[in-house]
Amino acid sequence: MDAVTRKKTGMRVAAITLAANLGLAAMKLAAGIFGHSSALISDAANSAADVFSTAIVITGLCLAAKPTDESHPYGHERMECAISVILAVILLATGGLIGYNGVLSLISGDYLSAATPNYIAVIAVIVTVAVKETLYRFTISAAKKLNSVSLKASAWDHREDVFTSLGALVGIIGGMLGYKIVDVIASLAICLVIIWAGVKVFLEAVDKMVDRACPPEFTEKLKTALLSIDGVISVDDIKTRVFGDRIYVDVEIGAYEYLTLKDAHTIAEAAHAEIEAFDERIKHCMVHVNPVPSPLGKDYNDIG
């Protein structure tokens, strides 16, 4: 998938997410206030953070899709991972703030004087769960198609929101039954889920930034493909690194030492073309040719 199509698809998903989160944040805040649920108000804060996060995802997709330039000859894909780190920090901060307020409420006993939650909060949670699960399925499908780390982070944020909303529902029902402390405990549980989501997003972003290699089976299949090229006597080394939805490949192949420069170049060009055709995710490759002793010495001067 080319960069323009990838950007358009990602932007469409992000725009739908942004609109949905705006609506959910407003609905949950109102329902939390009129439905007398601190857990739902905490969940509304989470949705508000999601609005900001989605805006950052959109920014990241735009930056990552920028074409190569003199200062960035390999493109701007790393910006997507940098954006994911920012998303992780936002999630951690949101979870920490919710947890802090929940602990204060427990220590002070303020929850005891709070009004009892009502059916308005219950309806809001049911709507939230339905919308968020739909968004998760929609976004994770696009993330897999684009192999986008930021969209995948956004998708898992939707799934975490499903669980946090269910936690809020438990708290609301507990409060309606007269156990107001359950509402506060649910708020604390929501904070832990949000923090865990932030940790997962952060770790995945870091994993993408440290030049992780392709799976061994990928390398073996590529090696077999290179050895099928006329003139390639050996594959001495293959280095791969994955970044976002792109793969970079460096290989060293062996060719007979007394070939002419033109023939050696022809072999290298064939290897280069084979690598680029091997997988559409390969963005850049380098081919180095090592000399291999010729069976006929200097008299051997043929590619085959």
Supply the pLDDT for residue 168. Answer: 75
Per-residue pLDDT reduced to its tens digit, 70-88: 776 666 666 777 777 887 8
With H, G, I as helix, E, B as strand and everything else as coil, classify residue 235.
Answer: strand
pLDDT at residue 115 above 80?
no
Task: Enumerate the β-bridge partners of residue 243.
Answer: 246
The answer to whether 252 and 239 have CB atoms below 8 angstroms apart is: no
DSSP count for the chain of H helices, then E strands: 8, 3
Q: What is the mean pLDDT of residues 219-231?
A: 94
pLDDT at residue 56 above 80?
no
DSSP state of 67: P
pLDDT at residue 234 above 80?
yes
- Residue from 219, 221, 303, 220 nearest 269 by CA: 303
The answer to whether 189 and 167 have CB atoms below 8 angstroms apart is: yes
By percentage, how much of the chain surpasses pLDDT 90?
20
Q: Among the ranges 57-61, 203-207, 216-220, which has the highest mean pLDDT value?
A: 216-220
pLDDT band at 203 (very low <50, low <70, confident <90, very high): confident
* Cα dihedral 266, 268, 273, 277 sign: positive
Per-residue pLDDT reduced to its tens digit, 241-295: 887 667 899 999 999 988 889 999 999 999 999 999 998 888 889 999 999 987 7
The answer to whether 68 and 75 have CB atoms below 8 angstroms apart is: yes
Longest dimension (CA), the chain: 97
Give the integer Cα–Cα distance in Å for 301 and 304: 9
What DSSP line would sit under 76-127, residue for residue?
A: STHHHHHHHHHHHHHHHHHHHHHHHHHHHHHHHTGGGGSPPP-HHHHHHHHH
Which comes out higher in pLDDT, residue 124 or 163?
124
Per the prediction, the chain carries an average pLDDT of 80
